[in-house]
Structure 1
Amino acid sequence: MRIALFITCVNDTLFPDTGRAVVRLLERLGHEVVFPENQTCCGQMHYNTGYRRPATRLAVRFVKTFGDADAVVVPSGSCAAMIRDNYPRLGAGGSRLSRKVSSLAPRVYDLTEFLVDVLEVTDVGAYYPHKVAYHPTCHGLRMLGLGDRPYQLLRAVRGLELVELEGATECCGFGGTFAVKNGDVSSAMGADKARHAVETGAEVLCAVDNSCLMHIGGVLSRQRSGMRVAHIAEILASTEKGGSSDPRPDDVRTAKEAATR
């Protein structure tokens, strides 16, 4: 199977360790991963703010770049949802873009979907000796319908104690441009999510989207809560023999947070 990694622009720019973790994980499971160098943004920002023409150009670039892949793995629920749910709306019915999207979109997967549904594996051989809470991000929950797939994977990780997060299905308040246009509301929602996370007593909050973790992690860092964040790929890639089993240090989170100010 030809597996292509779409790292997404947020991960490529701010969280490259997540992409490395995906490759390390899939290779450990016996699969070869390719990284098409022509990839760029999925166009979600443009689409959500009404810039349909630039979004369409990015969609054309995406299908051209990934069209030959048997599967495209995306460590971001929001970007996977953009491709699967919104790309079909960009091309007029019967257009060349529409036909290509219809062919490619079913082969685009969030990482947890790919592991559970395609590879049919939940125990990936991970070891992560930490108490963890999982935040189901809006796109993963409502658009992709990831359901309990992330929970299945986390429960199979040796050494990991998974705890319940109150108000788990509530939005963290990031929402991309929503955080910019509605800063006060976004901050209040982020504070609520951070409070619930801290109340779990977990060491680590994880999710399938680094954008949400960046938002919540910023709140946790400013509060000096001691709680850290980690993308689920980084947890699943961790083993006793290799790969980091430590959550991201606070100084890294602070640096990432500064990029959003």
Structure 2
Amino acid sequence: MKIGLFIPCFMNELYPDICKSTYKILKQQGLDIDYPLNQTCCGQPMANSGCSKDVETLAKQFVKTFKDYDYIVAPSGSCVSMVKEHYAPFFNNDEDYNKVKASIYEVCEFLHDVVKLENLNFNTSFPYKVGLHNSCHGHRVLKLATASELNIPYNSKLKNLLQKVEGIELVTLKREDECCGFGGTFSVQEEDLSIAMGKDRIKDHLDSNAQVMTGADMSCLMHMDGIINRNNHPIKVKHIVQILLGEEL
């Protein structure tokens, strides 16, 4: 299979090491990975701000760029959900878009559901207490884990992958799927509320004695990492692909 690697624009600019780690973990599964250089933003910030014409331009560029790949994989649940859930009005049941919609996966979802990863094919160890933050889009839109309000047995694709890492201790949080308050442009428009929600999320991890906070959306982790650094909290942030690779803190 031919994989098109989609890297969100903010990660390309701010977190290139995590982008490289995403490529590495896919490559180590023996997959054929391509990174199309003409890819751009998925349009999520514009959609959040009501700029639909700009979203349409970016949506059509995205589909044109990725339509010929067997799978499209990205290290961001929110960007994946943007493509899957919010492009349809611009395509009128277009065949290329329908293929892209069915082919795009968040990286952990891809490893769990498509590759069906049984073992990490490298010596992975991460001897820390880790708290998992379930971001809203990945959790409820992509179904990376069971939403608590459903009151059904809990299952998490992210935890299933993390449990394959030697030495890791996953801590129990009081609220498994609480929003961190980032929400893209929400954090700009409602700054005080966004920060308060982020502080609550961090406190849950601190109260559970987590040394590291992880998740599948660097946007959420970025928001909380800023709060952590400003308040000198004794906890680190690490994207889940970095932990699956056993990268040091």
Q: Same fold (TM over 0.5)?
A: yes
Partner of 2:137: 139
**Structure 2 residue 10 is the aligned partner of structure 1 residue 2:** no
Distance in 1 (CA, whole Å) between partners of 2:32 and 2:197 is 40
> Which among 111, 120, 130 is matched to residue 107 of structure 2?
111
**Structure 2 residue 244 is the aligned partner of structure 1 residue 246:** no
| Equivalent AA in structure 2 for residue 246 of structure 1 | E
Distance in 1 (CA, whole Å) between partners of 2:88 and 2:119 is 34
- Superposed, 1:96-245 pairs within 5 Å as 98-125=94-121, 126-147=124-145, 148-238=156-246, 245=247
Shift of 1:223: 1.7
- Secondary structure of 1:159 counterpart: coil
- Superposed, 1:30-49 pairs within 5 Å as 30-49=30-49
* Contact map agreement 1:17 1:234 (CA 8 A) in 2: no
- Secondary structure of 2:87 counterpart: helix
Partner of 1:82: 82
Deviations 1:136-173 (A, max 9, x none): 00000111111111010011111111112222211100
Shift of 1:193: 0.6
* Contact map agreement 1:9 1:41 (CA 8 A) in 2: yes
From the superposition, tell whether residues 112 and 122 of structure 1 become closer, same or farther in structure 2 (CA, over 3 Å). Answer: farther
What is the number of equivalent residue pairs in this alignment?
A: 237
Deviations 1:169-221 (A, max 9, x none): 11100000000000111011011011111111111100101110011111111
Shift of 1:122: 4.2
| Equivalent AA in structure 2 for residue 179 of structure 1 | S
Tell me the TM-score normalized by structure 2.
0.92
Shift of 1:237: 2.0
Distance in 1 (CA, whole Å) between partners of 2:41 and 2:231 is 32
**Once superposed, what is the RMSD of the aligned Cα atoms?**
1.2
- Secondary structure of 1:233 counterpart: helix
Partner of 2:24: 24
| Equivalent AA in structure 1 for residue 65 of structure 2 | T
Distance in 1 (CA, whole Å) between partners of 2:89 and 2:17 is 32
Unmatched runs of 5 consecutive residues or more in structure 2: 146-155
Deviations 1:44-99 (A, max 9, x none): 011121111110110111011111111111100000000011111333x34xxx33
Tell me the TM-score normalized by structure 1.
0.88
Unmatched runs of 5 consecutive residues or more in structure 1: 239-244, 248-261
Distance in 1 (CA, whole Å) between partners of 2:118 and 2:78 is 22
Distance in 2 (CA, whole Å) between partners of 1:13 and 1:168 is 30
Distance in 1 (CA, whole Å) between partners of 2:162 and 2:218 is 17
From the superposition, tell whether residues 223 and 122 of structure 1 become closer, same or farther in structure 2 (CA, over 3 Å). Answer: farther
Structure 1 runs of 4+ with >3 Å offset:
none
**Structure 2 residue 54 is the aligned partner of structure 1 residue 54:** yes
Q: Bigger CA drift: 199-208 or 123-132? A: 123-132
Shift of 1:101: 1.2
| Equivalent AA in structure 2 for residue 127 of structure 1 | S
Deviations 1:113-136 (A, max 9, x none): 100110011432432222111000
Distance in 2 (CA, whole Å) between partners of 1:145 and 1:172 is 18
Q: Bigger CA drift: 166-175 or 77-86? A: 166-175
